[in-house]
Amino acid sequence: MSNYNGILPQKDEYNEIYKFSGFQEYKIPNIEEYYEKIKKARNEKSTLSSISNEIVLAFIINNIDVSEGNLSKYNDIGYFLEQSGLYEEAVYILEVIIKEFPNRTVAYINLGDAYWSLGKKEEAKQAYKIYIEQMKAKNKESKIPSQVLERIS
């Protein structure tokens, strides 16, 4: 993740890695199972880090498309990663969410927070601005955290 440059890996690129990483080769990936593992480990950074590295995240995303049915699970995973200090991993998954669902308002605040923690202030401000625009469009301007407003000024 330290070399993450905003370009998502190609689907076939990590499928071969997956076969050699100790996972069960024929097990069908399941977002519910992965979500529960992330949720359980969210307060254990070392465990969380080992189950959410670049290869694992790429495999999950490439084999379980982000859809309306699992969007909140993916968003929560991104949030848990950000809250646990795994900012690059959070950016990775939140960028996928936004690419597929550009109107997922809460993903923008989570993305902004992850970028802010990485010291990428301009990227954070861009995410926050979109968040604010979408909140205003939903007449939820009063629910925008003051911290977000302070960071964009």
Structure tokens, 85:
């200090």
Domains in the chain (CATH in brackets) are 11-152 (1.25.40.10)
Q: Which amino acid appears at position 91 of this protein?
A: V
Phi, psi of 72 (to 5 degrees): -65, -35
Give me the helices (H) in 20-86, please: 31-41, 45-50, 54-63, 71-83
pLDDT at 109 over 90: yes
Q: What is the rounded (10 degree) CA torsion for 74, 75, 78, 81?
A: -100
Percent of the chain with pLDDT over 70: 81
When pLDDT is cut at 50, 70 and 90, the band that residue 54 belongs to is confident
Q: What is the rounded (10 degree) CA torsion for 27, 13, 55, 88?
A: -140
Q: Which range among 5-9, 51-55, 60-64, 115-119 has the greatest average pLDDT?
A: 115-119
When pLDDT is cut at 50, 70 and 90, the band that residue 142 belongs to is very high
Structure tokens, 126:
């861009």
pLDDT at 16 over 50: no
| pLDDT value of residue 17 | 40
How is residue 22 annotated by DSSP?
T
When pLDDT is cut at 50, 70 and 90, the band that residue 30 belongs to is confident
